[in-house]
Amino acid sequence: MSSISRTDSTPPDFAAFLARQLPQQRKPIAPYQLAGAQVWLKRAGPGNSAWRYRLLGAAARLLRLPALRPVPNPGGNAAIATEVRRLRQLADAGLRVPQVLAAQADGMLLLHLGAAGRPTPSLANEMRDAVPDGAQAVLALWRLGLQALDTAHGHGLCLSQAFARNMVRCPDGVVACIDFEDDPAAALPPVLCQVRDGLCYAHSSAYHLAQAGALPEARALWRQWCAGAARAPGFGAELERAVRRLAWLRRLPRGPRWGRDVQRLHAAFDLLD
């Protein structure tokens, strides 16, 4: 990790640092120590091909699941502009996200969410590690992700990819959300954006709930969450429609011999059904 120190008390010029350092950085994202704080410099990557979005879109149409329709992410400077806009929008709504210190067309500088030099664990990893501690330990962590979704949904917003791996725990215990290079609200109506968030979170967390024997209690909590005031009008009907169209998952074989991905799908459907 590169370090940039100062000998006076003048606040660092984040924009100047970004403009100076960005042309020298080859990695897509890299950490730096700047005036005693850890920051991340993220540069624009190459553009993304549109063909994979067409394939995903065809699959969503075949399954009649509009909430899972792919959200285009063109990459490059457009992805930087989207992420900066969304980070500021979500921060204004009270959601914990990385603070944008400076931005330009082809890159941005973000403040590290944790203590300098120390990683922030993802909610997915914390749930996995808590499985030996039992159902209540995993459920306590799982609720934190639901609360983060409540904060966004309560302001009529959504996340981008609401997987548990994109939720991290800050040193004060608050869950922060990361990865906002696309904007589902630009492609889907608000209710489908929220259903998409719910499906993503359920798929990425249900396996750990199942491992800990927490699914029965989680189902009750899930129903309460779905009926919460933060949900958009029509959320329940759209989610129920999506779950009905995923009923074919029941026919997938069960058991560890079929791999972790199949087990995750079964656990997610068991939570949602």
Measure the CA–CA gap between 265 and 69, rounded to whole angstroms: 18
pLDDT of residue 264: 83
> What is the DSSP pairing of strand 37-43 with strand 2-4?
unpaired
Q: Are 30 and 41 in contact (CB under 8 A)?
A: yes
Say whether 109 sits in a helix, a strand or coil.
Answer: strand
Centre a 10 Å sphere on the Cβ of residue 79 and count the other Cβ atoms it contains. 19
CA neighbor of 56 nearest in space, from 67, 66, 70: 70
pLDDT of residue 266: 80
User: How far is CA 181 from its chain centroid?
Assistant: 11
Residue with tokens 């994979």: 52
- Strands, E assignment, the chain: 2-4, 29-34, 37-43, 100-104, 107-111, 167-169, 175-177
Q: CA separation (Å) from 93 to 6, 51, 150?
A: 34, 34, 11
User: pTM of the full predicted structure?
Assistant: 0.88
Q: Are 37 and 14 in contact (CB under 8 A)?
A: no
pLDDT of residue 246: 80
Q: Residue-wise pLDDT tens for the chain (273 aa)? A: 554 444 445 678 999 999 999 999 999 999 999 888 899 999 998 755 554 445 444 445 555 677 777 777 778 999 999 999 999 999 999 999 999 999 999 999 999 998 877 778 999 999 999 999 999 999 999 999 999 999 999 999 999 889 999 999 999 999 999 999 999 999 899 999 999 999 999 999 999 999 999 999 999 999 999 999 999 999 999 999 988 888 777 776 676 766 677 788 888 888 998
pLDDT of residue 119: 78
pLDDT of residue 62: 53
